[in-house]
A and B are shown apart, each in its own frame.
Chain A
Amino acid sequence: MKNPDLISMRQALGDVLLKLGDEVPELVVLDSDVSSSTQTIHFGKKFPDRFFNVGVAEANMVDIAGGMATCGFRPVASAFAIFLTLKAAEQISNIICYNKLPVILLGGYAGLSDSFDGASHQSITDIAVMRAMPNLNVIDPADAIELTQAMQQMITYDGPSYIRISRNPRPLLFENDEPFKFGKIRKIQEGSDMTIAACGVTVSMAIDAASELKSKGISAEVLNISTIKPLDVDTLVRSVQKTGCILTVEEHTICGGMGSAVAEALMKNHPVKMDFIGISDTFTETGSYLELLKKYGISKESIKDKVLKLVTE
């Protein structure tokens, strides 16, 4: 039996694009021959005149989107995250970001979620590369509802955004009436002993870990950093002022990702004891999604282990 609470971000993306297509006449969608995977295909069927499948040519796609954006359109350009952010990195930088064009870049199959296709298709560097680019917002939604809300907000934003999209069905964490706020950290659970800052699919693991830690007498505050850039430094600092230590959790290499962004902010504003969960400096491999996450240390168990170490050190 299907778990009614599991829904994938890509499925939500397909739905929200259909809705936005009616509401925002300037919306155009571009894809690079992966529309049936990323689910932009539904938009393409409903709005064929505003859908452009450019074939396997991510760099070309990003620049076409840029050209359209200079003429008043609101392009959404979609590809697998690794190919979008690495093959088209120079186009994203020199055309989209340098010119501050209102384009949404959708990195599908992000993190390890393209699990069976192997390391060559998994995106573990996109946050690092995207957040290094001036003018670019970087958003890693925690569930399908946040993804939907992020799309609704960023489609009218006057500048470029990168949004990370996981492939697989994951639990819904939020209700529709708790709106995602761009640029704001969402505090999911109050706590006093330590802060767990998670993003993307790891947020649900952080929530589960925190509730299990409660039975061990540890009160963990859980933050959802869905907007990695610009980072909500105020909320972050207020949290660690109270808890005195922080663990970041992300489905990404620990080199330059969300944890690095948090470390940069805290080192400058309020240094505390800190540890990181993410992929250590290594390539990953083929396997089932949950097995992969576990093997590379991204799991409820590793969160609990690291928290225990941090608070007892």
Chain B
Amino acid sequence: MKLQKMSIITDEKLRRKSLQDIEGETDLLQKAAKIRYFAQQCRVDVFEMLYKRGNGHWGGSASVAEILSTLYLHFLKTYPENPKNPDRDRLILSKGHAAPMLYNILAKKGFFPMEELSTFRELNSILQGHPCMNKTQGVDISSGPLGHGISVGLGMALAARLQKKDYWTFVIVGEGCLNEGQSWEGIMAAAKFTPPRLVIMVDYNKVQLDGPCSDIMPLDPLSDKFKAFNINVAEKVYDGHDVLDIMKSLDWAKENQKNPSAIIYKTHKGKGVSFMEDNYKWHGSTIDDESYTRGKGELIETLMKLKI
């Protein structure tokens, strides 16, 4: 018992130290490399967690690893010890099925003990199948049913303007969200009300639950759609797995903070496991023993290569 307690304290010290090591890094290239490593470590941990649980969404979690890691370790002002601080930046994971990745990062940021991660999707867990703001510290709004994020984020951004606060609101959407008509109602309204510092980030892996977007519901030309709705969209499509590129996209967001904006990231569903990448079958399937062994091998191999 005592020993176990000791190890938790050691783990906590280690967690803080490695976080400080990344967040405090002043050299941007070094920082990007460290965040990339962190994101890959999260992938390994999420893969393990989902395999053990026997359910949960690997594809969309792996897709958003670098985007979430860069936001939390490089950009967002958050307060893990005072998670409801009204001045915090807001993050809405509108594609809420990527909850495993969000939970992993929130735990590593210190919003709740790392041990909670093993209870994901268990009865009485603080970590629900999809994010729940009243059960999980650090979750700004419950999500999972697709298409809510942009509207809710618009509400948060309008609240900031009314309160004369300068926090940011990021909304991460996937194709599923953009299939929902409500997203476009939200985009139209964002263009009407124009609150500052509202950023829609599209994790554009082009694969949805039932198949490729091109078969299920084509979204292209996506950038033109945003433009037609009067939303300022970044000309460049950023690489959602290249941390330095994501950092650049956030610089763009800063330069364009006066009005709502949208950024499209090219990503790969299931990124990091070759036979799962871009394959809709791994949207939310159970990871079987053989796939686990092969997949984990690949993820670790990449992790080792990234070691700084």
Q: Does B162 contact A (CB under 8 A)?
A: yes
Per-residue 0/1 for A16-56: is the Cβ within 8 Å of any B Cβ (1 yes, 0 no)?
Answer: 00000000000010000000000000000000011010110
Interface size on B, residues (CB 8 A): 29
A54–B160 CA distance with the chains assembled, in angstroms: 18
Complex Cα distance A69/B151, Å? 13
Q: Chain B residue with minimal CB distance to A56? A: B185
Residue A57 is within 8 A (CB to CB) of chain B in the complex: yes
Find A64's partner among B86, B145, B151, B160 (CB 8 Å cutoff): B151
- Which B126-141 residues sit within 8 Å CB-CB of chain A? 132-134, 140-141
- Which B residue sits closest to A69, measured CB to CB? B155
**The one of B140, B152, B162, B193 that contacts A63, using a Cβ cutoff of 8 Å:** B152
Which residues does chain A contribute within 8 Å of B162, judged by CB atoms?
28, 49-50, 73
| Contact between chains at B145 and A68 (CB < 8 Å) | no
Is the CB–CB distance between B182 and A70 below 8 Å? no
Residue of B nearest to A57 (CB): B185
Whether the pair A95, B140 counts as a contact (CB closer than 8 A) is no
Do B133 and A67 have beta carbons less than 8 Å apart?
no
Give min CB distance, B227 to chain A, whole Å.
Answer: 20
B189-A99 in contact (CB<8A)? no
The CA of A69 and the CA of B145, in the complex, are separated in Å by: 19
Q: A28-B162, A50-B162 are in contact. Are A60 and B140 (CB under 8 A)?
A: no
> CB within 8 A of B154: which of A28, A64, A94?
A64
A70 in contact with B151 (CB, 8 Å): no
Contact B159 A66 (CB under 8 A): no
Is B188 within 8 A of A55, CB to CB?
A: yes
Contact B185 A67 (CB under 8 A): no
A27 to B33 Cα, complex, angstroms: 46
Chain A residues near B35 (CB, 8 Å)?
A: none
A67 near B132: Cβ-Cβ < 8 Å: no
| Shortest distance from the beta carbon of A259 to any chain B beta carbon, whole Å | 31
CB-contacts of B163-209 with A (<8 A): 163, 182, 185-186, 188-189, 192-193
Q: Which residues of B contact A98 (CB under 8 A)?
A: 132, 142
Q: Does B148 contact A (CB under 8 A)?
A: yes
Question: Judging by beta carbons under 8 Å apart, are B152 and A64 in contact?
Answer: yes
The reply to whether the CB of A100 lies closer than 8 angstroms to some CB of chain B is yes
How far, in whole Å, are A70 and B153 apart by their CA atoms in the complex?
10
* Residue pair B158, A59 in contact (C-beta under 8 Å): no
Q: Which residue of B lies closest to A72 (CB)?
A: B86
Q: How far is the CB of B96 from chain A (nearest CB, A)?
A: 10
* Alpha-carbon separation in the docked complex, A135 to B235 (Å): 44
Chain B contacts of A57 at CB under 8 A? 182, 185, 188-189
Query: Measured between alpha carbons, how far is A100 from B134 in the docked complex, in Å?
Result: 9
B182 and A63 contact, CB distance less than 8 A: yes
Q: Given that A28-B162, A73-B162 are known contacts, is A67 also in contact with B142, CB under 8 Å in the complex? A: no
Q: Determine whether B49 belongs to the interface, using a CB cutoff of 8 Å to chain A.
A: no
Asked whether B156 is an interface residue with its Cβ less than 8 Å from the other chain, the reply is yes
Please judge, given known A-B contacts A72-B163, A95-B142, A99-B134, whether A64 and B148 are in contact too, CB under 8 Å.
no
State how many angstroms separate the Cβ of A95 from the closest Cβ of chain B. Answer: 6
CA distance A91 to B181 in the complex (A): 13
Contact B159 A71 (CB under 8 A): yes
On whether the beta carbons of A73 and B186 are closer than 8 Å, the reply is no
Complex contacts, A196 vs chain B, CB 8 Å: none
Chain A residue at minimum C-beta to C-beta distance from B161: A49
Does A81 lie at the interface of the complex (its beta carbon under 8 Å from any beta carbon of B)? no
Residue of A nearest to B156 (CB): A67
Given the interface pairs A49-B162, A99-B134, the reply to whether A71 lies near B156 with Cβ below 8 Å is yes
Binding site for A on B (CB under 8 A): 86, 132-134, 140-142, 144-145, 148, 151-160, 162-163, 182, 185-186, 188-189, 192-193
6 other contacts beyond A50-B162, A54-B189, A73-B162, with CB at 8 A cut-off? A59-B151, A59-B185, A64-B151, A70-B140, A71-B159, A99-B142
5 residue pairs A–B, Cβ–Cβ below 8 Å: A28-B162, A59-B185, A67-B141, A70-B155, A72-B163
Report which A residues bind B (CB closer than 8 A): 28, 49-50, 52, 54-55, 57, 59-60, 62-73, 75, 90-91, 94-95, 98-100
